[in-house]
Structure 1
Amino acid sequence: MPDISALKLDVVPEPTAPLGILPTVAAEKYPDTPFLSDTPWRTYDGPVRNFGEFARAIDDYADRLWAGGVRRGDVVAVVQRNHIEVEGVMCALGKIGALPALLSSAMETGELLECFARLENPYLLVDSFGLSRLVEHRYALRQLTRNVLCLEETDENWVVPLQERIAHTADPRDEDEWFVITHSSGTTGAPKMAAHSTRSLFGMVAPMIMIFRDQYSPQDLNAKHLSFVHARTCAGTLASLETAMPALAIADPDPANVKRLMLEHRPTSIETHPNVYIQWESLAHDPDRPFRHVERFISTFDAMHPRTVRTLLGASEHPRAHYFQAYGQTESGPICLRIVTREESAAYSPRNVGHSGGGMEIRIVDDNGVPQPANTPGFIETRSPGRMRGYVGGGPMPPQDSWWPMGDIGRLLDDGSLELLDRIVEHVDGVGSLLEKEDHLLEAMPELVELVLVKDEDDSSVFAVACPRPGTTPDPERFRAVAAEAGLPDLQVRFWEWEAMPVTGSYKVRRSVLRRKLAGRIQRTATARKEA
């Protein structure tokens, strides 16, 4: 397995400018660099096809926000459809010195209202989709927000449409001030709102910037379907602007749309969420070979299932095709990286998440915080340049040189790579690594597109939720046999369609929601089966 340190990431570069004005700087240097999207912008009237037009869209947003009364220091909660235009809005707010809080429109409505309350009377900025999610809560919004602004025309007389324009005054926050608030995925509970500065976003994406500069050319095209409110996407926009990397933002992940884009634009890099890659596996078998030009399949969220990695790499005809994986979290940024080549994919295990690099450090500690030797499981801690600057409503952050707990269990191997074993909140004593068992079950049952093991209400056992591939019929007996092979002979399973799974904006399964909805029901079913 290649050591990521071979990429010479030890020197972390500095940002050229605060992110609020970086689009303007990039447009002056590289106006014609492609900055594409698969679906048109709805909240801006002009075309956005390159850096120059992206900068003009940002200025237009800034003029409209200024006309709506937004000024430096104002906190603005943003709820819009999942589209790259959210990043333009973020940059516009940053340019005038406001503080955007980017909230996923996939959140439950109650969670959005809770976020508004924690932001303490922010402006609320929506598009038509965001407004449709919240329109039934207009009276709550009056109590929780300063005003509701809409980037599209609306018939709601309590909402201010931002159609007028007044020339804004640029007053961006400096590189170390809070620049944007994003939120954690909320897979195991309520999402936490984390703030990043331009410098921490830069630290988060510095390894990718170094790789762009070292390995990419202007002929490359980097296609992404991500949660556009995620810190990873904010950092990715910064990286593209810093390096003049051509970009294609994908809002619609439907395989038919993705196939069209792959054949039309022929990107050399693709990045999306692991659960989206699973949905794209069918394209790997398409006779038109839509992935044949792809050199890099990138995932910076969860590790991908081995089957999916092998399938994607097998669909590329590029001689240097590889899978690039990063492990981290919203609060820390990436802390280790891994490259898997086509030749290595047969033996790939997603439990090994790679090596640290680019100013990242990792250690494993026991319950008392004592560092552990190699090959000893414990709690993962890190120091990284991409660490957030604080939680909304949280206390002071510890010093930057202190160790940050990742909330995961793992061990460092003899070669310095990190093996990820479990999430602390999902760990069940005596069961072993749940993540490893999920890998085993999915590998053995290709008829499933997803499977998650969820800790039961009593914290002493687990149950499974499995999603059959469309067109297949689940076989409970086969499932029980494979579960027994994995060391889970009494595992109870609920088969569920993928479309019905509760997921975050980054397509991570919300295990806490599954536990709340299903744990008691599955336990009663298991009890009845035993009594019968």
Structure 2
Amino acid sequence: MRLTMLLDMVADTAGDRIVVGSRAGGITAAGLRDRARAGAAVLRASGADALVYLGVNGPAFPVALFAAALADVPLVPLNYRLGEEQLTALLARHPGAYGVGDEGGGAALRAAGIAAVDAATWLATTAERPVDEPVDEPGDEPWDPERTAVVIYTSGTTSAPKGVLLRHGNLASYVLGTVEFLAAAEDDAALVSVPPYHIAAVANVISNLYAGRRTLVLEQFSPDEWLTTVREERITNALVVPTMLSRIIETGSDLAVPSLRGLAYGGAPMPGALIEKALRTWPEVGFVNAYGLTETSSTVAVLGPEQHRASLASDDPDVRARLSSVGQVVPGVELAVLDDDGVPLPAGEVGRICVRGDQVSGEYDGQGRAVDDDGWFDTRDRGHLDASGYLFLGGRVDDTIIRGAENIAPAEIEEVILHHPDVVDVAVIGVPDEEWGQRIEAVVVLRDGRALEAGELRVFVLQRLRSSKTPERFLFWPELPRTETGKLVRRDVLRQATLS
């Protein structure tokens, strides 16, 4: 199924329903389809082979998503927070693209030789072009769901981002398997607080649309702004990461959210004390813990509202423990915990979390599909299933640091620190943190006879990386634990650092 068929279904059935933006002046389902058709005409006239989106989230994003789908080119949302060198390298992979960006993003796009407009111009253009302008369809051949709809760059254990290819079939399968068509009431509204280069942004556009729910984006998160928006826009459903929830609950402001019925969270480990406090603060709100990856088109396991409440109220330790789980697998996805030889492990035993199903891509640009002969995709997360099929995460197989729902590669930070002339060796680790999920720390070995203050090194890193990737603490050791072959024993670094 082509993604635009989801839009067609909603526009044909509930075309007057506002699905994007505020209650006053938002875009209707029919209007979104008209804009997508106009945007597709722009893309086809430009000869673009992709649409690169480089800016904050907002109404321009869903228009870009469906315009690209209709024009049969992939949408490529890029991280506008990347450093200049890394962003330039990614833009160089899409020389034939058309760009939509904010002020800074537009400048970067044009510097890369990509024709670009800002988000306001994109919205104005797609609103004013004749919507009956012919848009070429793929021809008489049957639509191929294997065509690429979205390319999302994600950084794993190395500093080089990988482009995850999400096919139309992957994304459509996710929606059809997890969302009921037009199940939302006409006045339902979802508040999304994630950037457009995150899989959750794409998933929320298509899933809320299919449900018939209006989606509103909070471009710059703050607890007070979030609470104000929920109340003024009568938000019924919202998506946050644990760090955001912590700031909201601890803000000290009026926490009344009378319209809110559902709150989904994910992207990073949720501290147990925080979710318990949130459940008691908003007992009428249905909390949902969603676990998924870019490579799986978003959610593959869910801990639903009733499961949250039952766990909180239970005296049974096994049931109570489920509040720390990510729930049970969603329909249409198979999940197994395998050992290193690919053999399924029994309940309670920790191994590699692997998934398969139509929504699972597991495919990287230029690298092919990373699945085994049986179709299993290794998420590189470790975990276990309990006897009732609840999934518990046990950390990454690799060394990726997850800070505030953002995957951060230690190698990228280590490379920067090693450029300091006084540094001879370094290990960057993620240490458990109640607010961020993990905080970044660095263990540094200096050259003989050199002296360096932590503050000086922090300034050095800040000049090259943004603050969220700058270690909060620097430790100075005479040497790092390494094997005889020179491999860093990162678990030993973490253990010793937490004792320092």
Residues 191 and 453 from structure 1, CA distance in 2 versus in 1: closer, same or farther, beyond 3 angstroms?
closer
Residues 275 and 502 from structure 1, CA distance in 2 versus in 1: closer, same or farther, beyond 3 angstroms?
farther
State the TM-score, normalizing by the size of structure 1: 0.68
What are the residue-to-residue correspondences of 1:23-62 with 2, within 5 Å?
23-37=7-21, 47-62=25-40
Contact 2:159 2:409 in 1 (8 A): no
Matched, 1:193 2:163: yes
Aligned residue among 255, 271, 288 for 1:324: 288
CA distance in 2, matches of 1:203, 1:52: 23
Contact 1:303 1:325 in 2 (8 A): no
Q: What is the aligned partner in structure 1 of residue 392 from structure 2?
A: 419
CA distance in 1, matches of 2:260, 2:120: 40
Matched, 1:257 2:225: yes
What are the residue-to-residue correspondences of 1:99-118 with 2, within 5 Å?
99-118=74-93
Q: Which runs of 5+ in 1 are unaligned?
A: 1-14, 41-46, 155-160, 428-433, 439-447, 470-492
CA distance in 2, matches of 1:175, 1:36: 26
Amino acid of the residue matched to residue 338 of structure 2?
V
CA distance in 2, matches of 1:124, 1:299: 33
Matched, 1:150 2:150: no
Amino acid of the residue matched to residue 258 of structure 1?
W
Q: What is the aligned partner in structure 2 of residue 85 from structure 1?
A: 60
1:24: Cα distance to partner? 4.1
Aligned residue among 103, 107, 110 for 1:129: 103
Q: Larger RCO: Structure 1 or Structure 2 (Cα < 8 Å, ≥ 6 residues apart)?
A: 1
SS at the partner of 2:475? helix
Q: What is the aligned partner in structure 2 of residue 306 from structure 1?
A: 272
CA distance in 1, matches of 2:384, 2:432: 28
CA distance in 1, matches of 2:465, 2:428: 22
CA distance in 2, matches of 1:202, 1:304: 28
Contact 2:246 2:435 in 1 (8 A): no
Q: What is the aligned partner in structure 2 of residue 395 from structure 1?
A: 368
Deviations 1:139-182 (A, max 9, x none): xx24xxxx32224699xxxxxx9799583514266433211212
CA distance in 2, matches of 1:400, 1:93: 33
CA distance in 2, matches of 1:301, 1:61: 31
1:88: Cα distance to partner? 1.0
Amino acid of the residue matched to residue 170 of structure 2?
S
Deviations 1:245-303 (A, max 9, x none): 333333232223222221122222211222222222245x533x432332221024234
1:114: Cα distance to partner? 2.1
Contact 1:77 1:102 in 2 (8 A): yes
What are the residue-to-residue correspondences of 1:327-346 with 2, within 5 Å?
327-333=291-297, 334-339=299-304, 340-342=307-309, 344-345=311-312
Deviations 1:81-109 (A, max 9, x none): 22242121121121122222121212233
1:314: Cα distance to partner? 2.8
Q: What is the aligned partner in structure 2 of residue 293 from structure 1?
A: 259
Q: What is the aligned partner in structure 2 of residue 244 from structure 1?
A: 212
Q: What is the aligned partner in structure 2 of residue 479 from structure 1?
A: none
Contact 1:200 1:389 in 2 (8 A): no
1:393: Cα distance to partner? 1.3
What RMSD in Å do the two structures reach over aligned CA positions? 4.3
Q: What is the aligned partner in structure 2 of residue 223 from structure 1?
A: 191
Residues 454 and 397 from structure 1, CA distance in 2 versus in 1: closer, same or farther, beyond 3 angstroms?
closer
Matched, 1:368 2:368: no
Deviations 1:10-61 (A, max 9, x none): xxxxx5xx22354344223212222243699xxxxxx533222322332332
> Identity of aligned pairs, percent?
19
Deviations 1:369-411 (A, max 9, x none): 2222221222221113321262111135648951111111112
CA distance in 1, matches of 2:337, 2:310: 30
Contact 2:371 2:378 in 1 (8 A): no
SS at the partner of 2:243? helix
Amino acid of the residue matched to residue 149 of structure 1?
A
Q: What is the aligned partner in structure 1 of residue 422 from structure 2?
A: none
Residues 461 and 394 from structure 1, CA distance in 2 versus in 1: closer, same or farther, beyond 3 angstroms?
closer
CA distance in 1, matches of 2:345, 2:44: 54
CA distance in 2, matches of 1:460, 1:191: 20
Contact 1:177 1:197 in 2 (8 A): yes
Q: What is the aligned partner in structure 2 of residue 357 from structure 1?
A: 330
State the TM-score, normalizing by the size of structure 2: 0.72
Contact 2:192 2:216 in 1 (8 A): yes
Q: What is the aligned partner in structure 2 of residue 476 from structure 1?
A: none
Contact 2:149 2:166 in 1 (8 A): yes
CA distance in 2, matches of 1:243, 1:344: 28
Deviations 1:298-332 (A, max 9, x none): 024234222332333333252xx331112121112
Aligned residue among 366, 379, 382 for 1:409: 382
